[in-house]
Structures are given as C-alpha cells and as structure tokens.
Amino acid sequence: MIKKERKPPLKLQKLEALLRRLPASHPKYKEVEVELAKSRAGYKGELSLDYHINSFASSQHLIFHDLRLPHKQYFFQMDTLLVTSSYLLILEVKNISGTLFLDHQFNQLIRNQNGEEHVFADPILQVRRQAFQLRMWLEVYKIPTVPIEYLVVMTNRNALLKSHKSEPCVIHSEALHEKLQEFDRRYNQPVLCTKKLRKLSSSLIKADTMQQLDVLKQFSIHSSELITGVQCPHCGKFAMRRVYGTWRCPDCEYVCKQAHLSALIDYALLIKPSITNHEFRAFLRLSSINIAKNLLAALQLPYTGETKGRVYELSIGDLPDYVRKSPNSS
C-alpha cells in the first residue's frame, strides 16, 4: 500500500526549468546539462524500482517514497522506505551502468566504463547511515524498537557488480522480490500493533520536509542571465506574443491560451514563490498592466496587499495542471 507516492523531485524540476531558461552559449550551460542528466537518471532508476515493488508488495507493506526527515539540526533522505508491523526496510536506489567495483579499503564505488574510471560515494555507507538516523528518529518519536534492514538496489541492467567479498545488501532490482520474502520469513512476529503502526505512518508523513534548493545560487547564475518570455510549447522557442487573448509563436505560428502558466512555474522554481504585476510583466515580456492583472486574477492565486502593492503567491501546487516539456526534455 503506497502511503507516499513518488513524484518528480523538486531538484529535477528546477534543473529542467534552469536549462530551459539558460542561453545555450552560457558558460554554465554544459555543467547544468550534466547535473540534469544525473538527476533524470536517478529518478528513472527509482521509477523502474517502483515497478518491481508494486508487482509484489502486499497491503501489509506500507510504502513511502522520497522521505526527508529531520535528524538533530540536519535532514536525511531515503529513496524508499517499506514499513511493516515486524520490520522496516530502507531502499537506496542507484541507476549506474558499467563495471562497478565496491572498494572497501577506501569506502568508495568505482565505475569503469569505456576505459574511464569514475568514483562515487560508497552506497553501503550511505544506506547504513540512513538506518542509524532512522533509528534515532524513531526514538525521538517514541516508536518501539523495530528491526531496520537496508538494501542498495542497482536498477541499471548494464551494471556489472564486483567486490572482494560478498555483499548481500547490494542487489539488482530483479532480486528484490526474493529479498523481501526472506525478510518476511525472518521477521514473522509483529512488533508494532495497529495503533503504533498508524502512529508511525502519520508521523513519517508529518515529519517529511521538502528540500529548499536555490539552483541559481548553486551554479552562481544571476536571474538577469535567464531568458525571459513565454516559451512556445510546440517548437520550444522564445518568446510568444500576446495576441487577442491568446499566445502566438512568431516562429511556428502555434497558438495557446495557457502558455503563460509554464512561465509562471519557471519563475516560481527559479526565482521566488511570489510575484507582483510588475515582475509578471517583466518576466513574460508583457507591456499591458491590465492584461497582466487579468491573467493573474484568472488564476485565483492567494495574495496579499491591494492594487499596486499586491503580491501573488506562486506555490507550484496551486497552479493549474498544465504540463509542458521543452524539445530537449525526456
């Protein structure tokens, strides 16, 4: 039973928005492109794991995706947490191709691909740390001591795993069903009663905290370096023009009434979660105060202030469900 669904990570959404709004000639364009590719690969790996989980998980397995919980003054994040009345299982997902060697001497994962070596953090140490932090979190919330298991799940079929010793906690995704059956057999005595299980589930959801990430700051990019205007959802070019109540692309002549919503989402993802009429006009390249006022009013967004001082809140979840991908998205 899925208690918290997996959604596109906020970091992925922000990186996609940044690449849409960054000129191809910008010195940081390639760096952002590489980071976006990593983020997409990670999310793709998590989605492929969900297929395996959903195919065998029963109603006794409570599934939480992308949990970010507080630990002292910091946070720790788990790709997937399976909760049962007898044990908890943390799944750390890795979507990495190539020949992968687990180096226990220096605690690192080394990938050899096309004759090149790349070093990654040790995923076993990573998931082990998550188990420790989760145990401390359970103590804070006064949840009875319950066994915590963990697995590093390799979702890429082109990953060849190598190690000097057996690593039962590192598996391919196809072996997950067998491992889950093994845990179910090993932990066959309930530790958490129905009431405690319900409390744990509720506490996990309440404590889950979205990460605040400023991608412009991460790449040292100023907002003035971004491409403004409404992007055409058909050809991907900037900038559409407002003509007789619609947005028209001067390049491909595509017409769309709702194209400005994607620009608002980009603004919220990259700059800030609020906007004034003046900022709206500047970012969308609109000259008319009244047109901007009417477009914002039609969205029925929460706002503070009156008339010229009005500030509209741009929570992504409050915007209508208008999805647009640029031509280079996948």
Kindly give, in sequence order, each residue whose CB lies less than 8 Å from that of residue 217, ignoring residues fewer than 6 positions away.
none
Give residue-wise pLDDT tens across range 114-153.
Answer: 889 999 999 999 999 999 999 999 999 899 889 999 999 9
CA distance 221 to 123: 31
CA distance 183 to 188: 8
- State the DSSP string of 95-115: ---EEEEEETTTTEEEEEETT
CA distance 222 to 265: 18
Query: What is the pTM assigned to this prediction?
Result: 0.83
Give residue-wise pLDDT tens across range 23-60.
Answer: 999 999 999 999 999 999 999 999 988 888 887 777 78
Residues in the chain: 330
Beta strands across the sheet bearing 98-103: 116-121, 108-113, 98-103, 159-163
Give residue-wise pLDDT tens across range 199-227.
Answer: 999 999 999 998 888 999 999 999 999 99
Q: What angle do the packed helices 10-21 and 260-270 form, to 10 degrees?
A: 110
Kindly give, in sequence order, each residue whose CB lies less than 8 Å from that of residue 247, ignoring residues fewer than 6 positions away.
230, 240, 241, 255, 256, 257, 259, 260
Q: Which residue has the higher pLDDT, 52 or 228?
A: 228
Give residue-wise pLDDT tens across range 293-328.
Answer: 999 999 888 899 887 789 999 876 545 543 333 333
Q: Are 168 and 151 in contact (CB under 8 A)?
A: no
